[in-house]
Amino acid sequence: MNLLTAESFAAGNGSYWSAVLPRLDHFVRISNAGPREFAAPIAMPDTRRQSFVSETAFYLWAQYASSAVKPDFQQAQARARLRLRQLAPHLRLEEPLTTDERLFALVLAQRLNAFCSESRSLRSVQIERRLPGCGWISGGLPDLIAIDESHGHSLTYLAEVKCVDRTFRSADMRQLVCYIVLYYSEFRRLPDLIGVINPLRGTALEIGVDEFFEDVVGSASSDVVNELLVEWSSAGVSP
């Protein structure tokens, strides 16, 4: 059996996902017509290392989320290099970020931190908390799992950060669906909210898990997730 990460499985297998989530593309188109805006959009500086800048920004934000007093660029760049060498080994990452790139990474990190602490009230933030695999899914690494206390009660919030100059895509939501199933496999309960956060554009696509599956499948979230978990865990079954 060939194992797939949640991230690689979500990025491909389009015909499979169309059958499983038949109204997902429509949901994403509607969501892109009016996403939640938490900040004005900003432009990425003219650099060929946008991925390096964005990943460094993510790990700078991770320091904020861990209550760091002063950002450690060296540590953030080291973690960004490690991550990108796994995802895109062709990128040239030897040279450190320039002063302009560092400043922009810091701005992105601050925008993401403002979203998590001001637009949302996130507590107990876990960054890149590995979810164990099931069946032919080897596991997943969601960007953040947290407790959202924005509305006076505690909700489990599972989200991805996409620091790119584009609208949200179906693959972004498929990735979250993979994480929902893996989360359920480990904890035997569903997260309450899912989101995709874009600090570059200042937008977020957020929705309750129950509402999401009702919109894209027309069935209860517990039924859909249980079916996927059983299917993915079955011996010899893969898309």
Cα separation, 127 vs 148, in Å, equals 14
Report how far residue 75's alpha carbon sits from residue 81's, in angstroms, rounded to the nearest whole number: 10
Domain 4-233 fold: Lambda Exonuclease; Chain A (3.90.320)
Q: Where along the chain do its domains lie?
A: 4-233
- pLDDT of amino acid 1: 60
Number of neighbours of residue 82 by Cβ within 10 angstroms: 12
Continuous H helices in the chain: 6-11, 14-20, 24-33, 50-65, 73-87, 99-114, 170-187, 209-216, 221-233
Mean pLDDT of 160-186: 97
Lowest mean pLDDT among 55-59, 66-70, 116-120, 219-223: 66-70
Q: How far apart are CA 172 and CA 217, in angstroms?
A: 17
pLDDT in tens, 176-221: 999 999 999 999 999 999 999 999 999 999 999 999 999 999 999 9
| Structure confidence at residue 114 (pLDDT) | 95
Name every residue whose Cβ is closer than 8 Å to that of residue 61 and which is 6 or more positions away in sequence.
108, 109, 112, 113, 116, 161
CB-side neighbour CA atoms (13 Å) of 74:
0
**Statement: residue 236 has pLDDT above 60:** no
pLDDT above 60 for 118:
yes
Q: Which residue has the higher pLDDT, 232 or 46?
A: 232
List Cα–Cα distances, 184 to 78, 83, 123, in angstroms: 32, 26, 20
Q: Take residue 56 and report the two structure tokens written for it.
A: 């460094």
> Coil, strand, or helix at residue 57?
helix
pLDDT above 70 (res 68): no
> With DSSP H G I counted as helix, E B as strand and the rest as coil, what are the percentages for the chain, rounded to 5?
50, 20, 35
Q: In whole angstroms, how far apart are CA 219 and each of 41, 66, 212, 216? A: 35, 38, 10, 8
Closest CA to 223 of 180, 193, 159: 180
